[in-house]
Chain A
Amino acid sequence: MRDEYLLAALRMAAGADPVPGRVSADARAAFHLRLPGGIVATPVEISGPRGARSGGGAPDIPEDEGPGVRRFAVTGLTIDVEAVVADGRLEVAGQVSPASGAETDARPDSGPSAEPGTGWQVEIRTSHLSKTRDLSENGRFAVGGLPTGWVSVVCHRPGEPPVSTRWMHVRP
């Protein structure tokens, strides 16, 4: 019998702390954050040196990866996300990287490290607000002015199922 469950049962019986309306409203609204047909990328440990902006880190880690970067991956796609709070608002930056040799826009000059294809976008989602951005040529993205709390990044590729990160909690 867990203490927290006992205390929670006592709290429910006391009826002194009802669920705030906004909590219930957010819970109901979460239904619209489903991603039918989508794929949830798996979190991946980043074992190399963190914040190695000068390079020289593990070969599979971007050179300018910061200390708060989280990596998510599915077959053929990696999403790196760094979320920070500045002036009370959430700033999210990152990079979408197709695996080398993955099917992309197949540009002849894409080189050994594949780049995102035409029309690829990222959608940065919070419980209350989402923003969509086109990816840069090297797959980078950045968005600011989001509410703090829960955030997830979704990569949309034409003709492919959307790939999302797990939901991450970012609060000062």
Chain B
Amino acid sequence: MTQPLLQVSRLSRHFPLGQGMVRALDDVSLTLMPEQILGVVGESGSGKSTLARIVMGLDRPTSGSVRIAGRDIFALSPRHLRQARRDFQMVFQDPYGSLDPRHRVGRIIAEPLHLDTTAPKGRDRRDLVGRLLRDVGLDAADQDRFPHEFSGGQRQRIAIARALITKPRLLVADEATSALDLTVQKQILRLILDLRDEHGIGVLFITHNLGVVDQICDSVAVMKDGRIVESGPMRQVMDHPAEPYTRRLLEAEPRLDVIGRKVRPKPS
């Protein structure tokens, strides 16, 4: 059997609040196999973003472990964790907040190369960044421009290019399409699928939107109040949800067949 790309075991994260405790994550376990896309769905306060930050080693859990390609990332020394970061990168929700406004696009995309002492420099680095920009549907010459010259969707492409530069095996996308127009959302989802197919990346896709899950995920985990209430293959969860909460989420989705539901008074 192949080794899981990501294995989250019994992860808990508690935050002190006043006299008590908030369980942002409560005994969460999940597994992502290589080249798969796992959707984590939940509403605000479900703990899904805390999960993303801990999986990326940006926050530490209260208990439990995160293994990426078999390595427990919280057992690594800071130096080894830094080296391991080449294998996993992240795309954030807000394409306006995730790019430093004072850096040029080329510098932003090349930032993770800091991890790699053998990374190309100078001319070769420019070529590499240019290739990545073309991979995500932008122009190689765009590396000399600043973030504010781009639209939200283009910025998200830049963020994806940055996440890809170290050739990671795991990509965590935290609401990566939520801030975008629907037509742009669709393009970015298409891009993520293509990248998975071409580069064999596994993706942890965190979202509040079941419509997105339906389009790209192989499996899905539904979170509520820091716990996973239901998980399984995507089609099974979406078409035959076992949990009332999953059903409620599905029912709340926008529909196009309930137009003019109510009897209205005659216009005066």
Please indicate whether A and B come from the same complex rather than being unrelated chains: no
